[in-house]
Structure 1
Amino acid sequence: MSQSDSPFILPTGQNINLPKTFNYKGKNYDISEEIKDRDYTSLLVIKDGKIVFEEYYKGNKKNVPVIFFSCTKSITSLLIGISLDKGYIKDLNDPISKYVPELKGSVYSEVPIQDVLNMSSGIEWSEDMADFNSGVAKLSDSYGKGKADLIKFILSLKRAHPSGTFNKYASVETQILGMVIEGATKKPYIDFFKENLWNRIFPESTAYLSTNGDGVAMAYGGLMTTPRDYAKAVLLMINKGKNSKNQQILSEEWIKQSITISPKDTHLLPGIRKNSDTNMGYKNQWWIPENRIDNEFTAIGVYGQFAYVNPKENIIIISNGADKRYADDIDIADGRKIALIRAVAASIK
């Protein structure tokens, strides 16, 4: 995906210094050591729409795209919102099979789009990347072989819980959302993405989106772009859905719905609960941290990819990484990252 002919360059504000330490579970850690130890490759801090801190590590540069892995899921969420705003998707309570007839007869046949957005379809699933027999490993294998194998794999999935009752992170859910976008808009995911989102944030660098041999985009983790350009997409979430030219890209209603969890949806609320396999909350392909501060939310990708958003303070923090210890304990890796980023956000005057 090419850079814009008239790219929007994020303005710079008054530079900040990072705080020296952050606290995680009662213990203080040195931030500079954490950045080194956890193999950060970038840290970009934006306050009031202006860059106030930007550093790249391990030879990375601001204009070189990096893989955002599952932060791509939150981009797919934006595309679902745009599809709904434009009337391609009629109702989030519509069943998946209305837009993806190939999945009739599967466990997804009558599952509402909203439950898939919330990773709450109820399927039996493992996201263990170290297990070659896990769901995510089989998803990657079938996706790589082509569309027919991908459909066959999805048709083979089984149910573990009633839809809409249990939060279970499953990358296949986002791939299905990509199929919904294609079925609703009658356009390839990548074309709809470029026309309705990417080209309209006026990227300053070339970006890439993984596709298989059949041209099917990897909606669950295939976006490669720069932290600056990813930030421009995230800025829509705190700029009331408007881009740098004040054009409405995304509705305010979609943004509100994406970061607000009803108290009755206990499986989505952050905190320890029996109807989820994580302590973090989840809504519309965005994570809600435990002990939520203001109305914060995040996008998270494996090995240290991260986008933190605090709408009240008008702060966005993008971070990338190559954390070789990430899979040892994902909850700790993400928890430490959130703690560090919160400390950075809190230090901004």
Structure 2
Amino acid sequence: MNFKKLKIPFIILLLIIIVAGIIYIPKIKKALAFQEAMELENIEQAFIHMDDYLPTKKVEKADEPFIFPRVNNISLPKDFIHSDITYNTLKYIDSSYTQGLIFIQNDTIQYENYWRGQKEDTRHISWSMAKSYISALFGIAMEEGYIKSIDQTVDEYLPELKGSGYDGVKIKDVLQMATGIKFDETYGDPNSDISRYWEGFVFGKSQDAFASTLINERPPGTYNHYVSINTHVLGMIIVKATGRSLTDYLEEKIWKPIGSEFDAYWLADGHGMEMANGGLNASLRDYAKLGKLYLQKGRWKEKQIVPLSWVEASIHSTEEYLQPNSKNSSDPGVGYGYQWWILDGNEDEIMAIGVFNQHIYINPTTNTVIVKNSANKNYYDSTNPYVLTSVHIELYRKLAHMNE
């Protein structure tokens, strides 16, 4: 064997290995650190320090923040009832691993408290509450003429998704989680689609490219199936149509106009695209301002921030498969609008909901906004009453009506 001939290729191979190590070893270390942070015993700290593990983009606070009037914390009701079972209120708050809870009624803070490391200026991850912010931005982009109609198809704005499951799907179906996309959103299952998505995100891979890999399993506009990547596609459309990043657009159109008290940040992939479906991190009181904005039908002081017609369309739905009692829904018992959950009942309640029990609850009948941040370690146990959204809703309703 002629070792002289092998010398140059060996050096090249060695250089490739060294460069690959320089590039990938830090990524692997970060991924392992994030994986450890997301173990259930560690999520209390992870959810308030997501910027320690992933790239972020800053959303600057308002120059003149809006400060909610407040009273001394009221005494919470002793208990509440769900399905004939009585729950002690304070025990429920503790056993659902609450980190922040704020109860606002008649535009005044009635109760605000923090636990497990969260403070008033802490930025806590929103998870899927971020979807409702994307909905608001989408309505604004339409009002400004960047997007013509929700009856247009996704590929009219995103030709890169031609040939994917989104090819030919109406934007309205994306907004209403009725795309027909095949997707397993089982958190805690390492083989699920959402876990596959997260693995790519942590390693900096393109979310846009991930969306292009998804396929369709049923006709669009026939079945309500919650797919987080649908919201990412909405974010892609906003970015493509406006020429703005989601961070800049949120900051200018919503975050500053509603007087946000603290900076927020958005998680971003390795290509600079924000995690539209759940990567916003903000303070409890600033989350409450989105609730106040929608309680006021998109109006803030003298300015209509989100178009009234868009707000109304977002929080009401007429399609059969979006109704709480529909058999054509993967989430029976609750309805769906444009990236907002619509509660069954006669008080027009709506919610933004994120995994591990992140909630913005809005009740226009009682002029109530409630926000809860949590790091619920029992979240993967679907039978545990301390993780069930339906039980949380009864707690919020008890608060909303406690003065009657």
> Do both proteins adopt the same fold according to a TM-score greater than 0.5, normalized to the shorter chain?
yes
Residue in 2 that maps onto 1:318: 371
SS of 1:161's partner is: coil
Residue in 2 that maps onto 1:282: 336
When structure 1 is superposed on structure 2, of 13-22 and 161-170 the one drifting more is 13-22
Q: Distance in 2 between matches of 1:96 and 1:294?
A: 34
Whose helix proportion is higher, 1 or 2?
A: 2
Say if 2:353 is the partner of 1:300: yes
Cα distance, 1:269 vs structure 2? 0.4
SS of 1:275's partner is: coil
Residue in 1 that maps onto 2:50: none
Cα distance, 1:292 vs structure 2? 2.0
Residue in 2 that maps onto 1:257: 313
Q: Distance in 2 between matches of 1:320 and 1:151?
A: 28
When structure 1 is superposed on structure 2, of 118-127 and 5-14 the one drifting more is 5-14
Q: Distance in 1 between matches of 2:202 and 2:125?
A: 17
Cα deviation 1:253-300 (Å, max 9, x = unaligned): 1111111111xx1110012x32111112111111122x3241001011
| Kept in 2: contact 1:16–1:348 (CA 8 A) | no
Cα distance, 1:330 vs structure 2? 7.4
Cα deviation 1:1-27 (Å, max 9, x = unaligned): 232221111112575321111111111
Q: Distance in 2 between matches of 1:106 and 1:261?
A: 27
Residue in 2 that maps onto 1:16: 74
Cα distance, 1:158 vs structure 2? 1.8
Cα deviation 1:103-160 (Å, max 9, x = unaligned): 112111211111001110001111011222212112223334456x433432222212
**Percent identical residues:** 37
- C-alpha root-mean-square deviation of aligned residues, in Å? 1.7
Q: Distance in 2 between matches of 1:60 and 1:53?
A: 15
The structure-2 alpha-carbon separation of the partners of 1:209 and 1:44, relative to structure 1 and needing over 3 Å to count, comes to same
Residue in 1 that maps onto 2:170: 112
SS of 1:45's partner is: strand
Cα distance, 1:331 vs structure 2? 8.8
Q: Distance in 2 between matches of 1:76 and 1:111?
A: 18
Q: Distance in 1 between matches of 2:118 and 2:327?
A: 41
Say if 2:229 is the partner of 1:175: no
Residue in 2 that maps onto 1:151: 208
Cα deviation 1:32-85 (Å, max 9, x = unaligned): 111111111111111121111111122321111111111111111111111111
Residue in 2 that maps onto 1:56: 114
| Kept in 1: contact 2:154–2:169 (CA 8 A) | yes
The structure-2 alpha-carbon separation of the partners of 1:59 and 1:132, relative to structure 1 and needing over 3 Å to count, comes to closer
The structure-2 alpha-carbon separation of the partners of 1:331 and 1:201, relative to structure 1 and needing over 3 Å to count, comes to farther
| Kept in 2: contact 1:267–1:276 (CA 8 A) | yes
Residue in 1 that maps onto 2:94: 36
Q: Distance in 1 between matches of 2:164 and 2:201?
A: 17
The structure-2 alpha-carbon separation of the partners of 1:48 and 1:225, relative to structure 1 and needing over 3 Å to count, comes to same
SS of 1:212's partner is: coil
Q: How do 1:91-102 and structure 2 match up within 5 A?
A: 91-102=149-160
Say if 2:299 is the partner of 1:246: no
TM-score by length of 2: 0.81
Say if 2:320 is the partner of 1:266: yes
SS of 1:55's partner is: strand
When structure 1 is superposed on structure 2, of 310-319 and 53-62 the one drifting more is 53-62
| Kept in 2: contact 1:94–1:113 (CA 8 A) | yes
**Which letter maps to 1:322?**
A
When structure 1 is superposed on structure 2, of 122-131 and 232-241 the one drifting more is 232-241
Residue in 2 that maps onto 1:194: 251
**Which letter maps to 1:111?**
V
Cα distance, 1:252 vs structure 2? 1.1
Q: Distance in 1 between matches of 2:272 and 2:294?
A: 29
Residue in 1 that maps onto 2:136: 78
Residue in 1 that maps onto 2:197: 139
When structure 1 is superposed on structure 2, of 51-60 and 82-91 the one drifting more is 51-60
SS of 2:137's partner is: helix
Unaligned 5+ residue runs, structure 2? 1-58
The structure-2 alpha-carbon separation of the partners of 1:334 and 1:131, relative to structure 1 and needing over 3 Å to count, comes to same
SS of 2:294's partner is: coil
**Which letter maps to 1:104?**
K
Say if 2:402 is the partner of 1:347: yes
Bigger Rg over Cα: 2
| Kept in 2: contact 1:22–1:339 (CA 8 A) | yes
**Which letter maps to 1:177?**
L
